[in-house]
Structure 1
Amino acid sequence: MRWSELVEYCLAKPGAWPDEPWDDGVVAKVGPKIFAFLGTEGSRALGVKAGASREEADEWLLRYPDDAEVMAYIGRSGWNSLRIDGAIPDEELLEAVDDSYDAVVRRLPRKDRPAVAG
């Protein structure tokens, strides 16, 4: 999967918008919350909320030990970095984006939820 396709997929989600809060790459947000860390063009990984808990997110590490890792700083909350040019099929990467988006939207206050997702 190409980085540009991943960005396009993320930003097509209801209420999604791009941000560069740290000037070192793009994140996709819904409301005020990040649901995907996209990096910069040419990035080889995607950061997503991969499970409700660290234990649930660890399933990715077991299935794809060479292509999934715990994200620095926020990994304890179930965030993983998934390699986009490795063994993880594109469909599973897109599903991971969907799951991350849904998990973030569920936790948003009603006022911040996109109308069609809420």
Structure 2
Amino acid sequence: MVRDSRRDRVIAACGALPGSVEDYPFGDEVAVFKVAGKMFALVMLGQPPGSVSLKCDPDLAVTLRGQYAAIIAGYHLNKRHWNTVTLDGSVPDDELLDLIDHSYELVVSRLPRAQRDNLKPDR
């Protein structure tokens, strides 16, 4: 596996979310991040710059594709609900982190209440 700091930051951000689990169901070239067994991010681990596929609100997905050349319809995924972001630096890091959080929140929002409650830190 080739090391790439931007990709490493994406992997760290995905893994830091509550209840996130890193898995390799498609082989060792794709890190899949799930919450409660549901995918929210797929990170390609091949040659740089790599990419990350993230769930996205369909209207926002279209807007982002128009705004950034590095964001396209989800590669091998439901193109209405997923975007693939090439990690070439053209999407600002803060925007990329927001997209990761958005993807995670979309998945969490559809979980049963008990599962959502289990993801909240103890107060």
Sort the TM-score into its range (normalised by shorter chain): 0.7 to 0.9
SS at match of 1:22: coil
Q: Which residue of 29, 37, 46 maps to 2:42?
A: 37
Which residue does the alignment assign to 2:87? 84
Which residue does the alignment assign to 2:110? 107
Which residue does the alignment assign to 2:52? 46
Please state if 1:25 is matched with 2:33. no
CA distance in 1, matches of 2:95, 2:55: 14
RMSD: 1.8
Cα pair 2:49 2:88 within 8 Å, conserved: no
Alpha-carbon displacement from aligned partner over 1:58-100 (angstroms, at most 9, x marks no partner): 0111101x21100133112x20001122311000000000000
Return 102-111 or 35-44, whichever deviates more. Answer: 35-44
Cα pair 1:10 1:36 within 8 Å, conserved: yes
Q: Which runs of 5+ in 2 are unaligned?
A: none
Structure 1 segments of 4+ aligned residues over 3 angstroms from their partners: none
Q: Which runs of 5+ in 1 are unaligned?
A: none
CA distance in 2, matches of 1:73, 1:116: 29
1:43 deviation in Å? 5.2
The TM-score with structure 2 as length reference comes to 0.82
Amino-acid identity (%):
32
Q: Give the length in aligned residue pairs.
A: 113
1:87 corresponds to which letter in structure 2? S
